[in-house]
Structure formats: C-alpha cells, structure tokens
Structure 1
Amino acid sequence: MNRPFDSIQDTDLDAYVDDQLDVPRRIEVEAYLSAHPVVAARVMSDLRARDELRLALAQPEGTARPATSDAARRLERGLARGRLWSNLRRGAAVFLLVAAGWAAHGMFGSQGGLHGVALAAPPPYVKDAIEAQKASIVRAAMVSQPEVPEFDPVEIRAATAIVLPVLPDSWKVKDVQVFPSQFGASVEMAVESKDDGELSLFAVRPGTFEVVSPTVVTTTDATSVYFQVGEVAYALVAKPGTEHLDRIAAGLASSLY
C-alpha cells in the first residue's frame, strides 16, 4: 500500500533527483508530484540542472566547458539552500517555466504569422486526440450509444491520474469518455462552445514531465492545439479553420496552476 503524501519529505525529493530511490518509493514520489505541480516544477528544474551537468562533464577533457560550472552552480543552489528558501524557489521555478513558454509563444506570434504553430512533427498523442474526436462524432449519431455529459473530475483523477482543466462557463459538456490510447487511459470530452462550435478536449499521460505552451497543428481533418502541464498532456480539437484555438488552450492551461 502506498504511504500517504505527507510522508514525502525534501530528502525524498533530493534522492529522487539523484536517482537514489528504489522503484516503489519513486512511484510514491511521482504520485506526489503529479498532485503537486508547484513542487513538481521545482523538481523538474533540479533534474534539468543535473542532466546539464552530466552532459557537460561528458565532453572531452581539455575542452572549455562554461556550461559545466553554470550547471554545477545551479544544482548546488537548488539542493543546498535548504528549507528556508524552498517556497521561494518553488514559486520561481513554476513562474519561470510558464513565463518562458508563454514568451516564446508570443514571440512566434509577432513574426510572420507563426503564432503558436508547430514547426516540427506534433507529439503522437495529437493523433490519438483526433481519432478520439472522430469516434465521439460517430457515437453521437448512434441512438444506442447515449452521450454522458455528467462527469466527476475527482473520480477521473483517481482512476486515471489525469487532472482536467477548469472549463469556460460558456461551454456545454455533451459527452465524456475514457478512451484507450498508446499511452494508456485517456479522457475525451465533447463540448459545445457558443463562439467556436463543436470542440473536443483530449487529455493523456504521455510518460514525460514537461511544460509545453499551446501549439497549433493544422491537418485536413482538424485544427488542433496541444499543450502539456507536468505529466498530463492535452489536445483541443476543432473543425478545420477554427481560429483562436491557441488562446482558448492558454486559458485552459492557466487554470491548472
């Protein structure tokens, strides 16, 4: 049986960063982080500093490596400040992660209409989101497959470890289903927006911990925008040509902090 979340201490988090935990304890720490995004952002910052340090130290000897000392200083500061600075450090980490993503998002928006448009292949879960939306449309047309608009976000989180964002008041939920995906259980919500028509919100745990700002993907089947907050990734899918989807996604993402 898993120990309660309040048993997770700073020493456990430091040991997690240092790869010093056994598998059962790592699972407990990861469950704790999935429920505490601010702490998770701080741990993610420490993990990045650790990996940068390892990468820099792996360079050939004799090579000037300013990144080594920079990463070492960041990691030392991250692990040695102690409890006095922990709250400030955690708040700063989540602020910097979100601000950096949104700053890049805004920068693309000011250059040649590249506002939040993916320049590389989208993550695989975007395809799952589009397929889930298609299945939702098929199901909605079947009399024998009634829609299920009622849902309990707490129950969904307990069953799938997926946190759902706060939906806009103007949205009407038409159907909520748990779908299989290549990453395990996912959640697909069919909603109706007064301004944007039929939308689909897809959420899944892709197996990575990242903070990804809303990024638009346009295909012949749909316009979609994906983003990720911690261990849960999201994709908002609409009919081709739908505008301002990235702004809607940004609002959903902000509700998760």
Structure 2
Amino acid sequence: MPAAHPSAPWNTEKLGLRVGADALAAGAAGVLVAPIITIIDKGIIENASGRNALGGSLKKSARELLVAPHRFLGSKPFVLIFSLYFGTYFTANTLDTATSTLSSTPASTTTAGTPKFLATSSANLALCLYKDSRFTQLFGSPGSTRPVPLPTFALFTLRDSLTIFASFNLPPLLAPTVATHMGAEAQRWMSAASVAQFVTPAAVQVVSTPLHLLGLDLYNRAGVALWGRDGRARRVLRDWGMASLARMGRIVPAFGVGGVVNTKVRRGLMGRLE
C-alpha cells in the first residue's frame, strides 16, 4: 500500500508579526482618510436634513479640524469613521494573511474573489450601518432621535455592497485591461492597479448615491409619498448631482487613497518579514 503524501505545511512563519503588520497597514490607511470622510459624511447628512447647507457644513468642520484638531480627532464622528475603515481594511488584510497561511504562499500574497468580498462586505456593512445610524441621529432632522427605520438600513446595505464590490473585487479584475490602455510610460507614474483602485469606487457612486439619499429621506421625513411635488423622488433628484460628487470625494480617499496606502504599507511590511 503506497505511503500517503504529507500535506503541505502551513506558512505560519512570523504569523504574529504578520497580523501586526495587517493592523499597522489598516491603521495607517484609516487615520489618513478618516478626517476628510468625517467632514464629508457630516455635510451630506446635514444638507439632506436641512440642518446646514453642504458648503457651510464642510467649512465649519474643516475650520474645527484646523483650529481645534484635538477636539475634532477626539470627537464621536471621527472615532466612528476611523473604526469603520480600520475594521474594513484589517478584515481584508487578515483574510489575505489567513489565505497565505493555509495555502503556504508568501506573506505578501493578496486575494480577490468571493471569500474576500463576503468577509470585507460583512465587516464593512456591520460597522457602516452602525456608523450611519449614529450619524443619521446626530446630524439628521433637528430634534429627531427616533430609531432608524428598516427600509433605510436596507438601502444603506445595498449602497455599501455596491461600494465594497467596486473597491475590493473590481480593481484586481480591471487592472489588466487598464494596463493595456495606459502604456508603459504612463505606468511609470502610476500603476494600472492603482488607477483601477481610484476609478472604480468613485464611478459606482453615480448608482449608489440615490440609494443613500432615499434612505436619509425615509428617516428625515416620515410619511412622505415617493412621488409628488415634494415627494422623495423629487428630493433625491434635486440632491443627486452634488451628493454624488461629494460621495466621490469621500470614496476616493476611503477606497482609493486608503486602499492604495493599505496595500503598499502591508506589502512593504510583509516584504521585510519575508
């Protein structure tokens, strides 16, 4: 009877340090993008609720960040946003580490597929829904602190699923196509993978922003009809263009800049450990 071949050993070398590198990369990306995203998210919600115009809210928050950074960075909104993106990136990083461990591949190996989408989207959805419920109550209609309705949660869930798919799964798939159109000279300045990481999350906001606005309107204006002179559809269409640009402005740092920083910091740290 032939002897059984031993299975390939797991790649557990420096596993604790690798998980630490995952956390450092996620933390570097999170702290870099959280300030601008906090400012934009607050502005969009205050504009939708009528508390403040989008431009006025952005200026007020930016002034606070510059004049009293300790107060801004210690505020509940900033902590919520940082926790959201740290948790999302850390989940994606540790999934790559777990995969490299189980498949005995180099520590810097990254993945792109259904498991990564499910893991990152689950973490992001849970954290983002909590963040959105708190932001909606903090900056929604004045005097309203009622629970966020289930349809709003459902719309936020669909919105975030689209963003996660466009942020973690589409860039690796689109990068080869982008590379064929960029040429070698252009890729000296920015890789095709980085271009795809910037473009795809921003582009999907054209589709996901109406879902976001409708979810906010369901909270801010209970009992309003979908159609009509001041119906929900009219309000969503009114704010769609400006809100889309604002959300692109937050998504590019969140999953563009943040994604690139997270990837490069993790790759650099893992390269040293290898």
Of structures 1 and 2, the one scoring higher in RCO (CA 8 A, sep 6+) is 2
Report the TM-score when normalising by structure 2.
Answer: 0.25
Report the TM-score when normalising by structure 1.
Answer: 0.26
Greater helix share, structure number? 2
